[in-house]
Amino acid sequence: MLSSRNWLLTVAILLSAPVLSSCLSSCISSGPPGAGKQPAGRRVKNSRGATKEPRERVVTVPCSSPFCVRGRESLDSHQYQKAIQEFQSELSSNSRCGQAYLGIARAHAGRYENGKAIASAKKAIAVDPRLGQAYELLSRLYFDSQRYELSIESATKAIEIDPTLAEAYYYRASSAYFLDLLDSGPQKTDMLADLNQAIRLDPKMQKAYGARGIYLASQRRVEEAIDSFSQALRLGPDPDCYANRAAAYSYLNRYDEALDDLAQVSKLQPKNPLPYKTRAGINKQLEHFDRALEDYGKAIELAPGDHGTYCDRAELYMKMKRYPEAVQDYSKVIAATKYGDDVLRKRAAVYVEMGKLDEALADLDQAHKIDPESSNTLLARSKVLEKLGRHDRAERDRERASELSGESFKSGL
């Protein structure tokens, strides 16, 4: 399965789900690093738009040497060091055995030694350029290291050599998907066709169903996305698929089903704060405030350094008119972060509701020092100044806010 943080980010942003987008944003990192130009080696289409693939498949017969046989057996049992030793023994007597290099590459990949795995896969290709499985492995390794263009090139080469390599289609689609997130140009490959082909070749490839669901969700084909996530889950429980299906259900306002899926995520990953935080957002939307508070509390217990959860809970306290608790949560964030003019504005709003105008003004003055060009801070401060009877200073703030924003603001609270 693709990295959950990337897929969840995609669902939240592309579906623009009002509940989940804010809940997920602080739990996950930003998207992949910048995409470049369209790489060479992608599939070429003929005049009718059909993808051209080779007519003949290059069949690779497994090496039958005793060393390679034992090496493959060691790979199957995850004895990676033993596998490396067996394949190296083969190379000591036959330095032109591409499958021995490929076996070593797979062993290094199993040990998460991607650099060594890539080097060994390239050696396999150097001695046997028609070894499609080596290109397929490279596509996976490049994908894992977020080198998406190289992943696409390697997958395309693997497919040209052997169009039955299911994972090559999966990684080509997945890499193209992440490139397209940051590139507004033409779609780089037919992602849906590639994912469907991966599933046809390997109907038990759960990650392909999950990736297809993500792609369909990004195209607003949400019901189809839910069906694809459900197909993935029929193959076995998976927290990413449950979480993504929950996002899709939430987008369709099917909150009960979303909550059920989030409960499954919590069972599978009891130390993951994300389902609790997301469920809190849904319960807040449904005005189940006590349940939302309980979930925010659990999320904070699991990830006490996530300042976004404190802010989310403070907003809920504000909605419940529990102002002292809201101030307490905002204060924790302000104390922990160096720059936080937005949090200062939010705490100032709570102080206004409590009638503590001097405290509100102090927060807004501090926010203005952090960002003197913020029209939001100036406008908020002008309203507090009006309440304090400092009309001239309030007017100056409004005028400056108008200059910065291009909007006209009238006097009044």
Examine residue 162 and state whether it is found in any structural domain, yes or no: no
Q: What are the tokens at 298?
A: 């659990």
Residue ranges with strand state E in 161-209: none
DSSP 45: B
Higher pLDDT, 412 or 359: 359
Phi/psi for 45 (5° steps) reads -105, 150
**pLDDT score at 54:** 44
Least trusted range by pLDDT, from 29-33, 254-258, 319-323: 29-33
Listed in sequence order, the residues at least 6 apart from 210 whose beta carbon sits closer than 8 Å to its beta carbon are 1, 2, 7, 228, 229, 232, 238, 240, 241, 244
What is the rounded CA–CA span in Å between residue 412 and residue 387?
9
pLDDT at 42 over 50: no
Domain containing residue 412? 338-413
pLDDT at residue 364 greater than cutoff 70: yes
User: How far is the C-alpha of 279 from the C-alpha of 245, rounded, in Å?
Assistant: 13
Q: Rounded to 5 degrees, what angle do the CA atoms 162, 167, 169 make?
A: 70
**CA trace torsion 161, 167, 168, 171 (10° rounding):** -170
For residue 405, what pLDDT is reported? Answer: 84
The larger pLDDT score, comparing residue 224 to residue 179, is at 224
Higher pLDDT, residue 211 or 180: 211
Identify the pLDDT of residue 239: 96
CATH number for the domain spanning 410: value is: 1.25.40.10
Give the pLDDT of residue 8.
45
Residue 222, domain member (yes or no): no
Do residues 6 and 179 touch, judged by C-beta distance below 8 A?
no
**Which three-class secondary structure string do you get for 245-306?**
HHHHHHHCCCHHHHHHHHHHHHHHCCCCCHHHHHHHHHHHHCCCHHHHHHHHHHHHHHCCCC
The pLDDT value given to residue 15? 46
- Residue 371 scores a pLDDT above 60: yes
User: How sure is the predictor about 9, in pLDDT bands with cuts at 50, 70 and 90?
Assistant: very low
In a domain, residue 62? The reply is no
Cβ 278 vs Cβ 20: under 8 Å:
yes
Structure tokens at 413: 């609270």
Residue 30 placed within a domain: no
Instruction: Decide if 152 contacts 140 (C-beta within 8 A).
Output: no
Residue 309 lies in a domain: no
The single-letter DSSP state of residue 56 is: S
Q: Is residue 211 part of a domain?
A: no
Reported confidence tier of residue 2, pLDDT bands at 50, 70, 90: very low
Asked if residue 176 lies in contact with residue 189, where contact means CB atoms within 8 angstroms, the answer is yes
Distance CA 291, CA 144 (A): 38
- Report, as an integer, the average pLDDT of 343-371: 96
Tell me if 361 is assigned to some domain: yes
Give me the mean pLDDT over the 338-358 stretch.
Answer: 94
Categorize the per-residue pLDDT at 108 as very low, low, confident or very high, splitting at 50, 70 and 90.
very high
CA angle, 137 then 33 then 310, to 5°: 115
Residue 27 has pLDDT above 60, yes or no: no
Q: Is position 412 within any domain?
A: yes
Q: What per-residue confidence (pLDDT) applies to 379?
A: 94
Residue 28 to residues 7, 82, 204, Cα–Cα distance (Å): 10, 37, 28
Confidence at residue 58, expressed as pLDDT on a 0 to 100 scale: 63
Q: Report the pLDDT averaged over residues 311-318.
A: 97
User: What's the domain count of the chain?
Assistant: 1
In three-state secondary structure terms, 51 is strand
- Check residue 25 and give its pLDDT: 28
